[in-house]
C-alpha cells in the first residue's frame, strides 16, 4: 500500500495533530493511518497484533501500540491511556465478524464483538474527549458499516454493534459541538479486507459459486455499483472528515456503499 495522493486542500492540513487509529494494522485502519499521515498528522497505530501494528506504523511514519480492545480494563491504563490524552483525532475502526443464525450464535462471540465495536470505542472516546475539549478541537470518526443502517441475516452481533456505534457517534457529536469536536460515522459496504475475503470464501463454498460471482450476485446484489470498495477509498473520506473543510459535518453517517442504501 502506498499513501494516497494528497491534493492542495488536504496537504498539511493536519500538521501538528495527533491521530490514533484502532485496528490500524491492516485493511481500512492501515489505509487510514497512511492517509492521515500524508495529510500531516502524527499517527498512532493501535492493533491487537504487535507485528502488524509496527509494520503499519512504520509505513505511516508513526508509532505502534498493542492492545486487545476486548480487554476493557486494560484500555484505561498504561500506554493506551497516556496516548489518548494527547489525541486530536480518534478513528474507531477495529472490528470482527461472526456469521451464524441466531439460534446457533455463540453468546461469547456476541459479547466479544460488542465489547470491541461498541464498549471499546466508548471507553476510548471517554479518555480522549477531555484533552480535545481542553484544546478546543477534535475529530472522532467511527468506521461503521452499511450494516449500521441496514440489517442482514446471520449477522446479529455485527448489525447490533454497528447500529449502536451509529447512535454513540451522534451523542458524541451533540456533546462535543460546543468544544470544537465533531463526530461522524463512515459507513461502507463490503471493503476489500481480510475480514471480507474470509466471508467471500465462506459464501463461495456455501453456494458453490466462483468468488467473483459471490461478490456480484450475493454480497452486492443490492448495490448499484457491484465491486468491492478499496480501503484507500474509505480512508479518503475519513481524511476529509478530519479536515478543516468538514468542520460543519457532525452527527452524520457518510455512506460509501455503491448505492446500496439508495433502495
Positions marked catalytic? 158
Q: Which three cell numbers stand for residue 48?
A: 491487537
75: Cα within 13 Å, side-chain hemisphere: 22
Q: Are 104 and 152 in contact (CB under 8 A)?
A: no
**Of 205, 226, 225, 229, whose CA–CA distance to 215 is shortest?**
226
Q: CA–CA separation, 235 vs 152, rounded Å?
A: 25
Q: Phi first, then psi: give them for residue 64, nearest 5 degrees.
A: -110, 145
Q: CA–CA separation, 203 vs 197, rounded Å?
A: 10
Q: Are 63 and 33 in contact (CB under 8 A)?
A: no
**Of 220, 223, 258, 261, whose CA–CA distance to 211 is shortest?**
220
Q: Which three cell numbers stand for residue 56?
A: 503499519
85 C-beta neighbours (distance < 10 Å), count: 13
**Cβ neighbours of residue 86 closer than 8 Å, sequence gap 6 or more:** 18, 131
**Cβ neighbours of residue 161 closer than 8 Å, sequence gap 6 or more:** 95, 113, 114, 116, 117, 118
Q: CA–CA separation, 97 vs 95, rounded Å?
A: 7
Amino acid at each position: 500500500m502506498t499513501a494516497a495522493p494528497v491534493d492542495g486542500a488536504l496537504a498539511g492540513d493536519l500538521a501538528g495533530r495527533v491521530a490514533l487509529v484502532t485496528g490500524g494494522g491492516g485493511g481500512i485502519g492501515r489505509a487510514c493511518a497512511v492517509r492521515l499521515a500524508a495529510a500531516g498528522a502524527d499517527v498512532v497505530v493501535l492493533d491487537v497484533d504487535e507485528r502488524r501494528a509496527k509494520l503499519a506504523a512504520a509505513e505511516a511514519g508513526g508509532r505502534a501500540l498493542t492492545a486487545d480492545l476486548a480487554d476493557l480494563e486494560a484500555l484505561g491504563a498504561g500506554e493506551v491511556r497516556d496516548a489518548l490524552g494527547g489525541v486530536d483525532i480518534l478513528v474507531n475502526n477495529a472490528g470482527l465478524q461472526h456469521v451464524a443464525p441466531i439460534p446457533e450464535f455463540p453468546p461469547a462471540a456476541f459479547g466479544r464483538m460488542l465489547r470491541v465495536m461498541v464498549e471499546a470505542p466508548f471507553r476510548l472516546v471517554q479518555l480522549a474527549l477531555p484533552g480535545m475539549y481542553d484544546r478546543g478541537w477534535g475529530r472522532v470518526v467511527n468506521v461503521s458499516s452499511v450494516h449500521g443502517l441496514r440489517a442482514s441475516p446471520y449477522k446479529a452481533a455485527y448489525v447490533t454493534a454497528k447500529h449502536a456505534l451509529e447512535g454513540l457517534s451522534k451523542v458524541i457529536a451533540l456533546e462535543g459541538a460546543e468544544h470544537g469536536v465533531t463526530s461522524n460515522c463512515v459507513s461502507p459496504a463490503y471493503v476489500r479486507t481480510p475480514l471480507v475475503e474470509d466471508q467471500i470464501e465462506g459464501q463461495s463454498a456455501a453456494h458453490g459459486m466462483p468468488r467473483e460471482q459471490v461478490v456480484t450476485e450475493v454480497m452486492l446484489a443490492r448495490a448499484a455499483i457491484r465491486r468491492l470498495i478499496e480501503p484507500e477509498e474509505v480512508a479518503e473520506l475519513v481524511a476529509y472528515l478530519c479536515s478543516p473543510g468538514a468542520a460543519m459535518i457532525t452527527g452524520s453517517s457518510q455512506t460509501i456503499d455503491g448505492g446500496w442504501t439508495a433502495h
